Amino acid sequence: MRELMRVCLNEWMKLVRRRRLWVASLLGVAMVGLFAYGTYHSYQMQQKYNSLAAWRQQLAANRQQLADLRRQQQHPGKNNPESGTSDVVARQIQEVQDSIRQLQQQISEETESDAQWRQQQAKSVREEQKSLARTQAQTAPASGLPAAQHQSDIAQTRLSLLSDSYRLTHGVRPLPSGSQDPYSMVMEFTDFSASVFLPLLAVILAADFISGESTSGTIKLLLVRPVPRWKVLLGKWLVACLATALLTAGLLAVVWLIGCLQYGTHGAWQPQVVGLSYQFQHFMANDGSSTNVVIPLLAHAHVLPMWAYVLASAGLEVVAMMVVATIALLCSTLFKSAMASTAAALGAVVIGFVVSQFLHGSRVVPLLFPTHMNLASDWAGQTAQSLELSVSLGSGLCTLAVWGVLSLVGAFVCFVRKDVLNA
C-alpha cells in the first residue's frame, strides 16, 4: 500500500507540473465565465419581457391602448379619417381586453399571499385526484391505441400529482416567472457541457499519462524501478480519475457559487421528479399515419428537493467523467504518441455523440457511452424522452460500468505486456 501511495504521489506531482492540467483548468474557467455571462444576459431579457414589472408595464400600455381605441370608436373620423371600419376597431378592442385579462391573471397569481396560494394548490391537488379516480374508474380498453392512451393519461396525472403534492406538503411555491436560481443554473451547465466539453477536459487530462512519457522517454526510467507495472498503471489511473473528479466537481461548484452571487440562494427546495423511465408505443392507422403514445413508468419515481438533486447529479457527472478518463488512459497505452492518444480518445467521444444523434431511436444508441455522459438526464427521464427509448439511470450506470471495466482491463493487459523498454 505504501508503495502504491508513493506511486500516486509521484504521478500527482508530475501532473501538477504538466501543462495539460493548467490548460484544462483554464479552458474550464473560460467556459464557465462565458456560460455565466450568457445566462445572465438571458436572465436580463427575461426580466425585461417576462417578469412582474414587465407585466405591469404591459398592462398599463394595454389600458392606454384600450382607452385610445374606445375614443376612436366613439369618434371614428376625428383623429384618423383613414381608420378602419367599426368592426375592425371592435375586434382590436376585444383583443386588447383579452390581453388585459390574461396579464391581470398572471399578476394576481404572482402576487397572491401564501395562504391564497395554499388554497389554490390544495384545490388543484383535489381536482387532480378526482380526475385520476374518474380515469381509473373507467373501463380500460382491452388493447391497441385506446388502451395505451388510457395508461398514459393515468400515469401523466400521477406524475403531475407527485410534484403538486410535494409543493403542498412542504409549502414550496413556484419561483417567480423570469427568475433564475443557482441550482437550475448548475443543471443547465451540465446539460450544456456534459456531451462534449467536460469529456474534452477529461481527455486532455488523462490521454497522455503513458503516451506522453513514452514520447519523452521517461517511461523507461519509471519502469526500471522495482515496482510492478500494474502498480504503476494503477497509480496513474487513480491520479487521472482524481484529477478528473476534482476538475469536474470544481467547475460545477464554481457555477453554483456564481449563481448564488448573481441570483441568491433561493430555489433549493423546488421539486424534481427522479427515477423516471418511459415506455413508447407506436401505432399505425389504416391511412398510413402513425401515433406515438408516451407512458411514464413511475414504479421507482419519487421527488427530491433541488439541492439534493443537484448534489447527486454532480456526483453522477463525476462518475461519467471518470469513465471517460479511463477510456483516455486506454488510448494512452495503445498509442506511443501523446497527440495520437488524445485524438483517439477525443474521437471516440465525438464519434459516439454524432452516432447517437444520427441513429436516433436505434437500440444501439443506449449501448454507447457518450449517450450517458449526463446521468442526471437519465435519472430524470429526459434521455428516454429525447431518444424515445426505455433508458433509466440504472441502465446508464451499467453501460458506463461495462465501458469503464473493459477499458481498464484493456489498459492493464496492454501496459503489462507491452515491450516499453525496447520500443
pLDDT tens sequence across 39-69: 999 888 887 877 777 778 888 888 888 888 8
User: Helix, strand, or coil here: 6?
Assistant: helix
Q: How far apart (Å, rounded) are the C-alpha atoms in residues 383 and 393?
A: 10
Whose grid coordinates read 524501478? 225
Instruction: Provide the pLDDT confidence category of residue 203 given band limits of 50, 70 and 90.
Output: very high
207 phi and psi, to 5 degrees? -75, -10
More confident residue, 399 or 92: 399
Closest CA to 329 of 421, 242, 250: 242
Min mean pLDDT across 77-91, 145-159, 351-365 is at 77-91
Q: Is the confidence at residue 74, as pLDDT, over 80?
A: no
Q: How far apart (Å, rounded) are the C-alpha atoms in residues 144 and 285?
A: 11
**What are the cell numbers at 103?**
396579464
SS3 letters across 317-351: HHHHHHHHHHHHHHHHHHCCCHHHHHHHHHHHHHH
Q: Supply the DSSP symbol for 173.
A: P
Q: What is the radius of gyration, based on Cα positions, of the chain?
A: 29
pTM over 0.75: yes
Instruction: Provide the pLDDT confidence category of residue 85 given band limits of 50, 70 and 90.
Output: low
pLDDT tens sequence across 110-122: 777 778 888 888 9
SS3 letters across 352-368: HHHHHHHCCCCCCHHHC
Burial readout 186-212 (b: 16 or more C-beta within 10 A, e: otherwise): bbbbbebbbbebbbbbbbbbbbbbbbb
User: In the chain, count of helices (H) and strands (E)?
Assistant: 16, 4
- The one-letter code for the residue type at 372 is H
Q: How far apart (Å, rounded) are the C-alpha atoms in residues 244 and 224?
A: 28
CA separation, residue 341 to residues 233, 329, 330 (Å): 16, 8, 9
Percent residues over pLDDT 90 in the chain: 42
**What are the cell numbers at 245?**
473528479
Beta strands in 3-160 (DSSP E): none
Min mean pLDDT across 26-35, 217-226, 254-263, 300-309 is at 217-226
Min mean pLDDT across 24-28, 83-87, 124-128 is at 83-87
Instruction: Provide the pLDDT confidence category of residue 12 given band limits of 50, 70 and 90.
Output: confident
Instruction: Provide the pLDDT confidence category of residue 83 given band limits of 50, 70 and 90.
Output: very low
The length of the chain is 423
Section 142-157 average pLDDT: 85
Q: Which residues are 303's β-sheet partners?
A: 273
Min mean pLDDT across 33-37, 262-266, 311-315 is at 262-266
Section 252-261 average pLDDT: 95
Min mean pLDDT across 141-150, 165-174, 311-320 is at 141-150
Q: How far apart (Å, rounded) are the C-alpha atoms in residues 212 and 423?
A: 14
